[in-house]
């Protein structure tokens, strides 16, 4: 019986080549499997709605694009830290009942303040993306009655006129030096150029030097107090310099008449006197302000918008 010879081992170079080919096949199969898994996961994620989509809420980026479209189109600064309400003092009541006041001027958050209320009204007027029907409806309900229950008409300029307007910071420097119906600007050059930031060009009234507001029949003051001075505490007028002249947006802030203490988010605490705070509680008082301020519960509301350098309805003449 013949005897079969044992197979000879493959040469070493051949064995190494075979091993290398096997290793490459294993790696390739792993890559294919991984890519297939990632593809399936990606398809699943794409098919599943996000939390915002399920709730119907816009994404953060989309929301930021939608808001303040009118201001952005006209180049007007959009609200931010700069537009917060300022001029508040911090009052505190210690655990033993002692009341203290920190006289450093502070700001509070919240969107119901004078500047942001005024900017919201202007934003609606200048929004280029509303349909004509939406814009007409917005304009119709834009202004509220003032503190005396009087309504003030908005300019009847056509919509294309509003959409053509643009922000002009140098306009802050254009008014007469003796015209004190808005705060004086100290950022103007001799040539009438404004050197401050765009945000600084949007100015609120710091004090009314004479005014003729509509008075509420419910207002009662001492005979020694000018009722106009009392009424002025509930108003603020925001100057916005534009290419056609300075705009003046007057807002009415009814909460100011009660001077409630508020928290850092402008929520009313329910008391107006620091002595009525709970022991260990702190709040902010608006007594440092001589014009109106808004709260979350009672925000300011826009009562008049004048354009083209026209004077506000309460204007009584310049003082020299």
Of 257, 265, 187, nearest to 227 (Cα)? 257
- Strand spans (E) along the chain: 85-93, 99-108, 203-204, 235-242, 245-252, 282-285, 301-306
Residues 10 and 8: their CA atoms lie apart, in Å, by 6
Q: Is 262 helix (H, G, I), strand (E, B) or coil?
A: strand
Residue identified by tokens 């209320």 is: 117
Residues 63 and 300: their CA atoms lie apart, in Å, by 24
The stretch 299-307 carries a mean pLDDT of 97
The residues spanned by each domain of the chain are 87-217+229-306
Give kind and range of the element (H or E) at residue 25. helix 12-47
The stretch 252-259 carries a mean pLDDT of 92
Q: Helix, strand, coil proportions of the chain in percent (round to 5)? A: 35, 15, 50
Q: Is the pLDDT of residue 227 over 60?
A: yes
Residues 275 and 92: their CA atoms lie apart, in Å, by 9
Q: Between these two residues, 183 and 271, which has the higher pLDDT value?
A: 271
What per-residue confidence (pLDDT) applies to 225? 85
Read off the tokens for 297.
Answer: 């519960």
What per-residue confidence (pLDDT) applies to 25? 53
Q: Where are the alpha helices (DSSP H) in 88-171?
A: 114-126, 132-140, 159-163
Long-range contacts of 81-87 (CB under 8 A, 24+ apart): 82/199, 83/113, 83/115, 83/116, 83/119, 83/199, 83/202, 84/108, 84/109, 84/113, 85/110, 85/113, 85/114, 85/115, 85/266, 85/293, 85/294, 87/286, 87/288, 87/289, 87/293
Q: Is the pLDDT of residue 80 over 90?
A: yes
Q: Is 205 helix (H, G, I), strand (E, B) or coil?
A: coil
Q: Do residues 185 and 269 lie in contact, with contact meaning Cβ atoms separated by under 8 Å?
A: no
pLDDT digits (tens, 9 = 90+) for 115-174: 999 999 999 999 999 999 999 999 999 999 999 999 999 999 999 999 999 999 998 887
Of 300, 295, 298, 234, nearest to 267 (Cα)? 295
Residues 254 and 149: their CA atoms lie apart, in Å, by 12
Tell me the range of 168-177, 184-193, 225-234, 243-252 where mean pLDDT is highest: 243-252
Q: Between these two residues, 251 and 35, which has the higher pLDDT value?
A: 251
């Amino acid at each position: 019986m013949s005897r079969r010879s044992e197979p000879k081992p493959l040469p070493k170079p051949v064995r190494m080549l075979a091993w290398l080919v096997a290793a490459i096949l294993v790696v390739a199969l792993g890559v294919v499997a991984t890519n297939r898994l990632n593809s399936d996961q990606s398809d699943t994620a794409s098919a599943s709605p996000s939390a915002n989509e399920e709730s119907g809420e816009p994404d953060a980026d989309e929301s930021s694009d939608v808001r303040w479209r009118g201001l952005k189109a006209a180049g007007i600064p959009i609200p931010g830290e700069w537009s917060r309400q300022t001029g508040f003092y911090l009052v505190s009541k210690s655990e033993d009942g002692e009341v203290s006041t920190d006289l450093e001027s502070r700001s509070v958050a919240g969107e119901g303040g004078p500047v942001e209320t005024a900017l919201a009204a202007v934003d609606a007027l200048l929004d280029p993306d509303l349909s004509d029907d939406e814009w007409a409806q917005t304009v119709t309900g834009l202004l509220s009655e003032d503190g005396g229950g009087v309504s003030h008409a908005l300019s009847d300029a056509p919509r294309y006129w509003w959409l053509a307007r643009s922000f002009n910071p140098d306009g802050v420097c254009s008014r007469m030096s003796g015209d004190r119906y808005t705060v004086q600007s100290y950022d103007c050059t001799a040539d009438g150029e404004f050197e401050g930031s765009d945000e600084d060009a949007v100015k609120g009234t710091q004090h009314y030097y004479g005014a003729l507001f509509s008075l509420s029949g419910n207002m009662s003051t001492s005979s020694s107090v000018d009722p106009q001075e009392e009424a002025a505490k509930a108003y603020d007028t925001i100057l916005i310099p534009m290419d056609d002249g300075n705009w003046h947006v007057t807002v009415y802030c009814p909460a100011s008449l009660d001077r409630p203490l508020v928290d850092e988010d402008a929520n009313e605490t329910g008391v107006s006197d620091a002595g009525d705070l709970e022991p260990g509680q702190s709040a902010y008082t608006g007594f440092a302000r001589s014009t109106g301020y808004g709260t979350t519960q009672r925000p300011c509301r826009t009562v008049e918008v004048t354009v083209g350098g026209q004077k506000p309805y309460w204007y009584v003449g310049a003082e020299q």
